[in-house]
């Protein structure tokens, strides 16, 4: 019992991815060459610690991004890289179809205000686009739809536009709507938004996983009671982690409201913290755990590859 209680407290503290014609082939080749050049100019080789991670996501089919305390790190083609532009301590990190949304704090030497408010950017580009609350807010719990870019945030401290509570913006921060968030559980740690349906949102809380289909006005719990984490939406599924004394990873089917458990790698007093699903490879996804381990699978959890071992890249 002491181990179970201690583990839940530990998680609670830490939780706050061949063309048919010669002309098309040439175009694809040119695009690939440009992409390669862009990667080479905007990244450097990385070999080090990745203990403090605040979100993961697939930038494309072969590139997995980690928002770390010291900036964005990339696992690409079996190698580790880091962004030379984004050395900030990003929180609430969400990868979308054309870049990422984030909050957090500026890194050493940055001229960004502290906290950085709500920002969006691209890993291969230096500049960020400010969407509001610079110098005011740091959103730890934030979810953004991968294609609709609907932004949901938990505002923990009042700022110039918001009181405390759950809010959403459907216009890149131009306007904000406070949500009733009825029956939303105890202490929100993570938020996930459906890639296309702006009204479908999920919360990972201290009392389980809660979902809403009315834009965050009302929620219902879909999991058993426990510490929720590792939220990720695909078109018809919601992936989530849960700790109830032992860790688990499940997938919830929206059509029939069924649930299926996915086998995890062996974990010793550990649990899923973040999950990212590959947008182009059906059974491929990655997890990052409370103890700083990261694994990828290409067969829906039948086997796992360890790419970060207790905070150390491999």
Span 153-179, pLDDT tens digits: 999 999 999 999 999 999 999 999 999
What's the domain count of the chain? 1
Residue 197 within any structural domain of the chain: yes
Q: Say if pTM beats, i.e. exceeds, 0.85.
A: yes
Render pLDDT for 72-86 as a digit per residue (tens, 0 to 9): 999 999 999 999 999
Write out the residue range of the structural domain in which residue 253 sits. Answer: 2-17+45-313
pLDDT at 2: 42
Render pLDDT for 218-248 as a digit per residue (tens, 0 to 9): 999 999 999 999 999 999 999 999 999 999 9
Residue 222 within any structural domain of the chain: yes
Q: Please state, as a whole number, how many other Cβ atoms lie within 10 Å of the Cβ of residue 257.
A: 9
Distance between CA atoms of 189 and 125, rounded to whole angstroms? 29
pLDDT at 40: 74
Nearest to 303 by CA among 273, 262, 275: 262
Render pLDDT for 250-283 as a digit per residue (tens, 0 to 9): 999 999 999 999 999 999 999 999 999 999 999 9
Q: Is residue 6 predicted with pLDDT exceeding 70?
A: no
Residue 29 within any structural domain of the chain: no
Lowest-confidence range among 13-27, 88-102, 195-209? 13-27
What number is the average pLDDT over the span 83-104? 96
| Angle, alpha carbons 72-187-101 (nearest 5°) | 25
What Cα–Cα distance (Å) separates residue 218 from each residue in 180, 201, 204, 213, 254? 7, 10, 15, 8, 17
Residue 31 within any structural domain of the chain: no
Q: Strand, helix or coil at 130?
A: strand
- Phi and psi torsions of 4, nearest 5°: -60, -50
What Cα–Cα distance (Å) separates residue 173 from each residue in 56, 91, 167, 170, 203? 22, 17, 11, 7, 20
pLDDT at 222: 98
pLDDT at 41: 86
Distance between CA atoms of 13 and 15, rounded to whole angstroms? 6
The answer to whether 79 touches 87, Cβ cutoff 8 Å, is no
Residue 215 within any structural domain of the chain: yes
Q: Is residue 53 predicted with pLDDT exceeding 60?
A: yes
Interacting residues of 204 by C-beta distance below 8 A, sequence separation 6+:
15, 188, 189, 190, 191, 192, 228, 229, 230, 231, 240, 241
pLDDT at 51: 75
Q: Is residue 7 predicted with pLDDT exceeding 90?
A: no
CATH number at residue 79: 2.130.10.10
Render pLDDT for 284-314 as a digit per residue (tens, 0 to 9): 999 999 999 999 999 999 999 999 999 999 9
Q: Find the DSSP H helices in the chain.
A: 2-14, 22-42
pLDDT at 36: 53
Residue 39 within any structural domain of the chain: no
By the 10 Å C-beta count (0-12 exposed, 13-18 middle, 19+ buried), 127 is classed as exposed
The answer to whether 218 touches 182, Cβ cutoff 8 Å, is yes
Q: Is residue 14 predicted with pLDDT exceeding 80?
A: no
pLDDT at 5: 47
What Cα–Cα distance (Å) separates residue 200 from each residue in 96, 141, 192? 16, 16, 9
Residue 123 within any structural domain of the chain: yes
SS3 of 3-51: the string is HHHHHHHHHHHHCCCCCCCHHHHHHHHHHHHHHHHHHHHHEEECCCECC
Residue 33 within any structural domain of the chain: no
pLDDT band at 27 (very low <50, low <70, confident <90, very high): very low
Name the average pLDDT for the chain.
91
What number is the average pLDDT over the span 6-22? 49
């Amino acid at each position: 019992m002491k181990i179970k209680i201690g583990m839940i407290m530990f998680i609670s503290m830490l939780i706050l991815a061949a063309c048919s014609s010669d002309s098309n082939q040439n175009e694809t080749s040119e695009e690939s060459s440009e992409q390669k050049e862009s990667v080479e100019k905007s990244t450097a080789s990385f070999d080090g610690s990745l203990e403090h991670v605040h979100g993961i996501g697939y930038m494309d089919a072969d590139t997995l991004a980690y928002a770390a305390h010291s900036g964005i790190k990339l696992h690409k083609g079996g190698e580790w890289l880091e962004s030379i532009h984004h050395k900030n301590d990003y929180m609430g990190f969400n990868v979308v179809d054309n870049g990422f949304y984030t909050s957090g704090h500026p890194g050493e030497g940055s001229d960004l205000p502290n906290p950085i408010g709500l920002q969006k950017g691209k890993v291969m580009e230096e500049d960020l686009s400010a969407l509001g609350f610079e110098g005011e807010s740091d959103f730890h719990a934030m979810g953004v739809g991968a294609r609709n870019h609907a932004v949901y945030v938990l505002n923990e401290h009042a700022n110039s536009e918001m009181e405390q509570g759950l809010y959403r913006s459907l216009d890149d921060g131009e306007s904000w709507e406070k949500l009733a968030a009825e029956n939303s559980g105890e202490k929100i740690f993570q938020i996930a938004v459906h890639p296309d349906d702006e009204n479908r949102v999920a919360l990972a809380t201290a009392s389980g996983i809660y979902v809403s289909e009315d834009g965050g006005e009302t929620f219902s719990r879909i999991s058993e009671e426990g510490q929720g984490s590792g939220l990720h939406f695909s078109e018809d599924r919601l992936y989530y982690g849960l700790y109830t004394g032992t860790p688990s990873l499940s997938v919830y089917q929206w059509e029939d409201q069924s649930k299926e458990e996915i086998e995890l790698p062996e974990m010793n007093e550990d649990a899923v913290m973040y999950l990212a699903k590959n947008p182009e490879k059906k059974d491929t996804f990655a997890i990052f755990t409370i103890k700083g381990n990261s694994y990828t699978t290409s067969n829906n959890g039948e086997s796992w590859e360890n790419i970060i071992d207790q905070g150390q890249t491999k």
